[in-house]
Structure 1
């Protein structure tokens, strides 16, 4: 199984890269013969900018794009800038082909200085990858400064890794979840049957598909005193 990690950390050392490595290790430990490749966006910043202005990816950026496209599963990690993903992170996915992530399992994660930014997972990252038609695993992982070494982070990492391993392992094996599609002839609506007009003070009833539908106006008229 090929697992690609996209890290948008800028500093060296980087807490974003640290979280990415922990997620990759936990995921790779759950699948046989995992091939892990890390894409450091910091090293591709100039190439990404040139891709916007020229429309062509350089060799390094092209190799990173090919790695993402061929991956069975992705781990994407960004630092939080201005309560959202970083511009470098977004720019990398902006220069990918619009169909590159369709159906691909993705684990989203982020790092920040405060726990107050944890909603970035649901308010920014999930909508982005849902728009790209990726399959985002249920558990996202956010690590604030105070989370390192504290209880809870390791459990979230393990849970998210297990979810990604399950999805990516199926993708590597070419397993497509079964989808039950009803035949067009399996169900046909019954024709509406309108009863004879009822006597004054009662209502007309319409039978449709085994259900009786009574017009609201007639229900009100039946309640009015004569």
Structure 2
């Protein structure tokens, strides 16, 4: 049985980026949960590095090699973590453009964890009014817990009224891992063409 493939998509624009940091923490938490039962391959797609290719693809309809490879990784993944900074109360244009160039059937029934970063907690509802509807439209299986990290969340442990960022990461990653683990297993077995033809004969 092949390893599960987990891909984190980060739309952070700066280096270092809190968006990438959140993507990494979510991916590592999900990997640890899944590794108890299955081998896991984790990779990250940095949209910052693909910005020009994404813009060109929107105009020409043809992806460059690097963008094509990133699209294939997301399309073939068993689970996706999608993280964007929040600009003007919604996802970034780069984030939306990347998912615009992916075939709109590529995420059907695929487990997706949505997350976002921002300067203030006031933008946390963007996860529910912008990101979740987009992935529901694409017919992905969006995990119940969405993770938002405001500037003040980094380094806090939470209190009786707030789970804290670490707890939210653990809960969301666990939900994603559970969905990925329940997906039908895909093996790399190839059925010879002659055998396929024989199965069609009456």
TM-score scaled by structure 2?
A: 0.85
Alignment of 1:117-156 (within 5 A): 117-150=123-156, 151=158, 152-156=164-168
What does 1:112-191 align with in structure 2 at a 5 Å threshold? 112-150=118-156, 151=158, 152-171=164-183, 173=185
Q: Which residue of 1 aligns with 2:27?
A: 24
The answer for the alignment partner of 2:105 in structure 1 is 99
8 Å Cα contact 1:7/1:20 also seen in 2: yes
Which of 71, 75, 86 in structure 1 is aligned with 2:92?
86
Contact in 2 for aligned 1:72/1:172 (Cα 8 Å): no
- Mapped partners of 1:110, 1:59: distance in 2: 28
Mark the runs of 5 or more structure 2 residues left unpaired by the alignment. 159-163, 187-202
Distance 1:120 1:98 in 2: 22
Counterpart for residue 82 of structure 2: 76
Aligned length: 174
- 1:40 and 2:46 aligned: yes
Structure 1 residues 33 and 172, CA gap change in structure 2 (3 angstroms): farther
Higher RCO, 1 vs 2 (CA within 8 Å, ≥6 residues apart)? 2
2:12 aligned with 1:6 = no
1:172 positional shift: 5.5
**In structure 2, how many angstroms separate the alpha carbons of the residues matched to 1:148 and 1:172?**
36
**Of Structure 1 and Structure 2, which has the larger fraction of its residues in helix?**
2
**Alpha-carbon separation, structure 1, partners of 2:142 and 2:28:** 19
Aligned-pair CA distance for 1:173: 2.1
Largest Rg, 1 or 2: 1
Q: In 2 relative to 1, CA 88–68 (structure 1 residues): closer, same or farther, beyond 3 Å? A: same
Q: Which runs of 5+ in 1 are unaligned?
A: 175-226
Q: 1:13 Cα deviation (Å)?
A: 0.2
- Counterpart of 2:65 (choices 56, 59, 63) is 59
Cα-Cα RMSD:
0.8
